[in-house]
Amino acid sequence: MKVLKFGGTSVGSAQRMKDVAKLITDGEKKIVVLSAMSGTTNTLVEISDYLYKKNPEGANEIINNLEAKYRRHIDELYSTEEYKKKTLDFVRGEFDFIRSYTKDLFTLFEEKVILAQGEIISTNMVANYLLEQGFNVVLISALEYMRTDKNAEPDPIYIKEKLKGQLEKYPDADIYITQGFICRNAYGEIDNLQRGGSDYTASLIGAAINASEIQIWTDIDGMHDNDPRVVDKTSPVRQLQFEEAAELAYFGAKILHPTCIQPAKYANIPVRLLNTMEPSAPGTLISNETEHGKIKAVAAKDNITAIKIKSSRMLLAHGFLRKVFEIFESYQTSIDMICTSEVGVSMSVDNTKHLQEIVNDLKKYGTVTVDHGMCIICVVGDLTWENVGFETKALYAMREIPVRMISYGGSNYNISFLIKEEDKKRALQSLSDTLFNH
Ligand code: ASP
Ligand code: MG
């Protein structure tokens, strides 16, 4: 069985829901994971924000607007009075439920309940639409099987067992619809898998049922070997290894949530990225297969800050790096790139919330310099060290660009450069010309 996930924009209007319905009613048995309609989770966060600030009036205004929007979608989606009424009644109940939270104490616990309603509503709408159209569909609640443990990590054994139980209740269904993102925690309370977590749901379900494939459907125009907004010519990427995908996911290749990779990779289930706007295109297949000797893609990430600490005390000393890293750790700041020499170490970060404190603390150990407005350029592909010529090619493409840091050998799949943001376009174009022959 396949697992298909559709994101917020793919179910973002009545028309888009109808398009999804067409895609999933091909007669094949499947599980369909849906996000909330686009914008809804953000609106629910905003409602919660008003409630945290003890402003029920502000919250109510947004709740009313959101409810009105849903009424319009429902009006457009169904053709029979029966299903219109059925869904309207359901959605009214949901909004009354959300309103009930404007009266009492509001904590993180209540916020999570509110955030869960977006997916609960969207899945109900789509399931009712398919029922109206006469399809053999059942809605199974993620709250019945998706669960995290005491470390807030998904609990695969529980998920597998409970999901199996849910599916066995409806052995004859053709389509199982379920919510992405939402779950219960170890104490049975409503929780979620973090923003953007629907991809993660799809991957966890895929692993739990040993799916033949996990499909992530978005309305983004597929995965390209370079940034089409910046570079003249790009080509679609048809195949990626999971680790190549993981490298790219950090670079906001906004196609797949990074958390989605691990469960699929371990269960050895291929993930296919597909485009709802172009459903017959082959998309990008992510699996454990490496295409040997092939550079797959180049990606960039802006707003990077480089920090260098130089100290003669580092020479022949041990434990120096630990002290440096501990400072970043104590400010919950993760380091992305790192380069060392005998007398200095350079690091890059994308989160500068505690930069001032970090720099202050680092000064205890050496001379510190900071470069802002930097950009990481990442070349992804089969860059196993025994392969010759690939790093040379990438370096050659960068020959006219001032390069602040180079990182190679951290994984088998990546070489990264830190450059100035203003050189990004030139660098991406040159890499594209050198590495891919379009
Ligand atoms: N609706 C959730 C969010 O917007 C989960 C998702 O879309 O993946 O974060
Ligand atoms: Mg989303």
Topology classification of domain 295-435: VC0802-like (3.30.2130)
Distance 137 CA to ligand 2 centre (A): 23
How many Å apart are CA 46 and CA 52, to the nearest integer?
10
For ligand 1, atom 8, which residue shows the shortest CA distance?
Answer: 196
One-letter amino acid at 263 equals P
Q: Quickly count: other Cβ atoms within 10 Å of residue 384's Cβ.
A: 13
Residue nearest to atom 6 of ligand 1 (CA): 196
Closest ligand 1 atom to Cα of 199: 8
- Ligand 1 atom closest to Cα of residue 35: 7
| Cβ–Cβ < 8 Å for 300, 378 | yes
Going from the Cα of 74 to the center of ligand 1, the distance in angstroms, rounded, reads: 21
175-179 and 137-139 beta bridge pairing:
parallel
**Interval between CA 209 and ligand 2 midpoint (Å):** 23
CA distances from 161 to 14, 33, 158, 177, 426 (A): 34, 18, 5, 18, 52
- Site to substitute for ligand 1 among 181, 218, 260, most atoms within 8 A of C-beta: 181
Assess contact for 304 and 336: CB atoms under 8 A. yes
Q: What are the residues whose beta carbons fall under 8 Å from the beta carbon of 326, sequence distance 6 or more?
A: none
pLDDT at 319: 85
Tell me the CATH number of domain 2-219, given options 3.40.1480.10, 3.40.50.720, 3.30.70.250, 3.40.1160.10: 3.40.1160.10
Q: Closest by alpha carbon to 435, among 401, 377, 394?
A: 394
The best mutation among 4, 35, 111 to test binding of ligand 1, ranked by most ligand atoms within 8 Å of the C-beta, falls on: 35
Ligand 1 atom with the shortest distance to the CA of 119: 1
CA 320 to ligand 1 center in whole angstroms: 41
Give helix then strand counts, H and E, for the chain.
13, 16
Separation of alpha carbons 66 and 74, rounded Å: 12
Q: Is 181 left (phi over 0), alpha (psi -120 to 50) or beta?
A: left
Q: What is the pLDDT of residue 320?
A: 86
Percent composition of the chain: helix, strand, coil (DSSP 3-state, to 5): 45, 25, 35
**Count of CA atoms in the C-beta half-sphere (13 A) of 237:** 28
Structure tokens at 67: 């409810």
User: What pTM did the predictor assign?
Assistant: 0.90
**Numbered ranges of CATH 3.40.1160.10 in the chain:** 2-219
Q: Cβ(48)–Cβ(114) under 8 Å? A: yes
Render the burial of 199-223: b for 16+ CB within 10 Å, e for the rest: bbbbbbbbbbbebebbbbbbbbebb
Residue 182: both structure tokens together? 């939402």
Atom of ligand 1 nearest to the CA of 196: 8
Q: Which atom of ligand 1 sits closest to the CA of residue 201?
A: 8
The ligand whose atoms approach the alpha carbon of 36 most closely is: 1
Mean pLDDT, the chain cut into blocks of 10 residues (438 residues total): 96 97 96 98 97 95 98 98 98 96 90 98 98 98 97 96 98 97 97 95 98 94 86 92 90 75 96 93 94 92 96 77 94 95 93 97 95 96 89 94 95 95 97 88
List every span in the chain annotated with CATH 3.30.2130.10.
Answer: 295-435
DSSP string, 241-266: EHHHHHHHHHTT-TTS-GGGHHHHHH
Q: Which ligand sits nearest to residue 35's alpha carbon?
A: 1
Q: Which atom of ligand 1 is nearest to the CA of 193?
A: 5
Give residues (CB < 6 A) around ligand 1. Answer: 7-8, 35-36, 41, 118, 180-181, 195-198
Cβ burial, residue 225 (10 Å; 0-12/13-18/19+): buried
Please give the distance, rounded to the nearest whole angstrom, from the Cα atom of residue 251 to the centre of ligand 1.
Answer: 19
List the structure tokens of 236.
């679609």
What is the CA(418)–ligand 1 centre distance, in A? Answer: 31
For the CA atoms of the chain, what is the radius of gyration? 24
* pLDDT number for residue 252: 64
